[in-house]
Structure 1
Amino acid sequence: MSITAKELAKKLNISPAAISMALNHKPGVSTATRQKILDAAQKYGYDFTRISQKITVHGAVYLIIYKKHGAVVADTPFFAQLSEGITLGCKKENFNLKVTYIYEDEDNTERQIEDLRVSDCLGVILLGTEMTAADIRPFLKLDIPVVLLDTYFEELSCDSILINNIQGAYIAASYLIKKCGGQPGYLHSSYPIQNFTERADGFYNAIRAAGLPVSKSVVHSLTPSVEGAYADMCEILKKGERLASSYFADNDLIATGAMKAFKEFHYRVPEDISVTGFDDLPISTVIEPNLTTVNVPKKYMGEIAARRIISLIRDPHQPPVKTEISTTLVKRRSVCLAHSPQK
């Protein structure tokens, strides 16, 4: 027979009001007391289904957008759709959502993180796109549930929701090999983040699976923005560096910038050079030709992050899980049959 809240209060010698606040995730008790009550409730078999899953929660889920250099995390449709999914997921469960930015170059970063302890924060969804493992560790020291979004590190024990980058890059590169023949080149981001490292793994896995030599891959390092990639590729073309007949790009912005440069130097896309991107941003349907790219279900990814943090708020004793969101290839007109670059 399960224990009641009143019996739990008597057993712990804690007021029934404090028991109720802890079990219903309301403010008014210390973090240590709350954890003591939740541990005891689980130990003595308290029936957590007594608590309405739709109760209005006092406190909020915090979406923390961490900007290290800002070259990747920006006000783009990718992150807007992630945020939309998180908002929807929180709304479905009657949780408030607060969005805050942390900039690494500010002097008060440590204080901002520490302030979460005394705020109304019930749990953190941490956008880790530009972060390293060292950047994330201070958040994990807080006595607050944390879900890491859009990255993963083997050395960290925390929940992570991320794209299956290896799979996405693999299917894109394999498609280029099948459609274009020969060995695809790689438009690699000059900014090192975990997502791009994993996409590189997927690209080279496809090269190896096709029996092609990795050492023969033509790789250009480009800034991960449209204008940055355009400027970098123009310099490469001016120097007359060797080109591939097709390219996989780390994201759609790089692909778009490179295509702009190719056209300026009189290379036809896709007749002379085929290009695929990653992310399926709106720009991929606007540019001419439309960009073949890897679709990431961004809104769904945000919803999954919201569900997970709410689950951890309600039951913080769950073991960490890594959730990878699968991708699909969207075939458009930037890829054609076998060709070689020519002016």
Structure 2
Amino acid sequence: MGITAKELAARLNLSATAVSMALNGKPGVSTETRALVIREAEKAGYDFSRLSMKKNASGDIYCIICRAHNAILNYTPIFSELTDGLEQECRKNGYHLKTFQLYEKVDDLQKYIEELRISQCAGVILLGTEVSASVCHEFLQLSVPVILLDSYFDSADCSCVLINNAQGAYLATSYLIDRCGRQPGHLCSSYRITNFRERTHGFHRAVREHGMSTAKSIIHELSPSIEGAFSDMLEIIDSGTPLAGAYFADNDLIAIGAIKALKLRGYKVPEDIAIAGFDNISEGRVIDPALTTIDVPRKFMGQTAAAQLIREIQTPVLHSVKIEVSTTLIKRFSV
């Protein structure tokens, strides 16, 4: 069996990054170093077909699930649908999908990326729900295409696939106002990510377009989990804080926790207070009353991200793209 790039780097006393750049014809190493690496690789029987895998319809695609605080990604059913779509599209096109989890505060990011450099990685899909811009930029230093899934950064020069969060929030808030005729409040997440900030923009736009002032909307910050939102909402109710007659919640977990707290304290939903969520998780169908929410085609998002990455692997692109997937309002009994 021929030598691996990692073994070659150790033999030549070079970094894995330098060996990867030399073998892949990337800038960043001297002409002498590049010639040395290729010469020694040929002598040691390095399998150069591994390099062509990155350009042909074969090889490995890595899905990196990057966790920061685990506040959002802790709810796994949502993200299993995304990875199902990724895997289906990869398999259809002859690629093998490898999924790994990276804990930003614990794992050695640089070591992680070095391992990717010397692997048979053809491209990376970075699940960016909790990822920071700085971590995203580290992955963009790889010599393979990178797609950012479920997030977007103006400073990141890579293609991305994400939900049209503002559109979904706008649909839910407009429906609340039209049905209830009341100034809606906002149950926003205490942990702020890009998705939630965009949902806030959609909420504000709907309020303003209905002739209301966003300054008059009652806002409560709740933990983005059922248990956390339940406890936080109970505390808000018991403190005597004024409540709105209708609420848009940043996600279904917050909405469900708030409904449980309101019902425990004797409020009727939707007669006293109407609530709409976002994500269309299964728990929202079985809670009483069933939750009005925004549906996200997560499997389709995964398929779209994988398809875009494969296009960029096979035909390098000059410009990155931002693909926003539209959402759908699901009308149930909480409004």
The TM-score, its normalising length taken from structure 1, stands at: 0.81
| Number of aligned residues | 288
> Is 1:235 aligned with 2:235?
yes
Corresponding residue of 1:319: 319
Q: Residues 56 and 326 (structure 1 numbering): CA distance in 2 closer, same or farther, change over 3 Å?
A: closer
Which has the larger displacement, 126-135 or 261-270? 126-135
Q: Residue type matched to 2:202 in 1? A: G
Residue 265 of structure 1 aligns with an amino acid whose one-letter code is R
- How do 1:181-196 and structure 2 match up within 5 A? 181-196=181-196
Alignment deviations for residues 189-222 of structure 1 (CA, whole Å, 9 cap, x no partner): 0001000000000000111111101110000000
Measured against aligned partners, the alpha-carbon deviations of 1:153-196 in whole angstroms (never above 9, x if no partner) come to 11221100000000000010000010001201000000010000
SS of equivalent residue, structure 2 residue 143: coil
Whole-angstrom distance in 1 between the partners of 2:306 and 2:293: 26
Amino acid at match of 1:157: D
Percent identity among equivalent residues? Answer: 49
- Deviation digits for residues 32-80 of structure 1, max 9, x if unmatched? 179xxxxxxxxxxxxxxxx9xxx861x2000000000000012422111
- CA drift of 1:114 comes to 2.2
1:215-235 per-residue CA deviation (whole Å, 9 max, x = no partner) reads 100000000000010010011
After TM superposition, where is structure 1 displaced by more than 6 Å over at least 4 residues in a row?
Answer: none
Q: Residue 93 of structure 1 corresponds to which residue in structure 2?
A: 93
Alpha-carbon contact 2:277-2:292 (below 8 Å) kept: yes
1:1-343 map, 5 Å: 30-32=23-25, 57=58, 59-335=59-335
Point out where structure 2 has 5 or more consecutive residues left out of the alignment.
1-19, 28-51
1:283 & 1:92 partners in 2: Cα distance?
32
Residue 182 and residue 75 in structure 1: after superposition, are their counterparts in 2 closer, same or farther (change >3 A)? closer
**How many angstroms apart in 2 are the aligned matches of 1:331 and 1:317?**
41
Would the alpha carbon gap of residues 332 and 315 (structure 1) be closer, same or farther in structure 2, given more than 3 Å must change? same
Change (3 A) 1:75 1:113: farther
Query: CA RMSD of the aligned region, Å?
Result: 1.7
- Read off the aligned partner of 1:292 and give its amino acid letter: T
Gaps of 5+ in 1: 1-26, 35-50, 336-343
8 A contact 2:57–2:314 mirrored in 1: no
Give the SS at the match of 2:65.
Answer: strand
Distance 2:170 2:200 in 1: 9
For residues 285-314 of structure 1, give each alpha carbon's deviation from its aligned partner in whole angstroms, at most 9, with x where no partner exists: 111111000010000000001101111111
1:227-258 C-alpha deviation (Å, 9 max, x unpaired) = 01001001101101000001000000000000
